[in-house]
Structure 1
Amino acid sequence: MSIDVGAFLQASVPFVNTLGITFDHVGDAKAVARLADRPDLHNHVGGPHAGALFTLAETASGAVLVSVFGDQLTRATALAKTSTIRYAKLAKGDVTAEARLVGSRDEVVTALDAGERPEFDIEVDITRADGAVVTQMTITWTLRPLRLRPPTPEAPHA
């Protein structure tokens, strides 16, 4: 069964809607998300606030994660472990985040199958309308295996 990951994130993460993040594409270990230019999201120089850019990038990376590892989320919890961000140029106007998985899904699932807590990176470039990269971010995610409780003994029969 396939789900619309963008719609899922918009429905399950209220902050995505607060910022008005939309999705152009999610699939093939990639995602493209957009943030429209809105004065209420501006910083002191008239572009999107750094926090809005961070959230756009993290949201795009989350879309990649769900599209690639959604079938594993019944047995593991996805958690962002670290993020590094570099603001390269002034962002003005609408911005687009392009996220992509670094590495192999198979390696991550194999580690999870072995009972490990795999880590993997998703890289994101944020561009403005002229194509200039304004921000780059790498999010290191982990899949924490769910700990199942051992079965409880049945209550003695009376």
Structure 2
Amino acid sequence: MIMSVVPPVLIGLSYAVVTSLIREPHRRRFNAIMVAGAGAAYLSGGGLGGWEFVFTAAVTYCAYRGLESWTFIGVGWLLHTAWDVLHHLKGSPIIPFAHNSSLGCAICDPVIALWCLRGGPSLVDLARSRWRLLNRFRSGAA
């Protein structure tokens, strides 16, 4: 069970860290494009029929609005999470030869969504500032 959860969480965290290297406003726009791509990921499988087009349109709208709003990007990732769950339950995974791929995606996506809903802050800059503060505290300068 734990091995089904840990890798997707680490993937979501890794995504947030790596994309933190992109400076704003480009980071937000890059993430809007990424959620748009995720919204279309199930189209080729068509596991939920015509609803795949409705879902893709909804996430595309979120991605478009996400060009200017982290909140819409986060909402797009949460919509994708729900779609992942539906595909997992239906037995129509995002990667046809990997039975639990939609489940993994449903675990990974909310990690990314939470980061986006917090405004997609640079985790690299946050880690650097915490490290400097810790070093100041250790040296007695705080």
**TM-score for both structures, normalised by structure 1:** 0.29
Q: Which has the higher helix share?
A: 2
Bigger-Rg structure (1/2)? 1
Which one scores higher on RCO, CA 8 angstroms, separation ≥ 6? 2
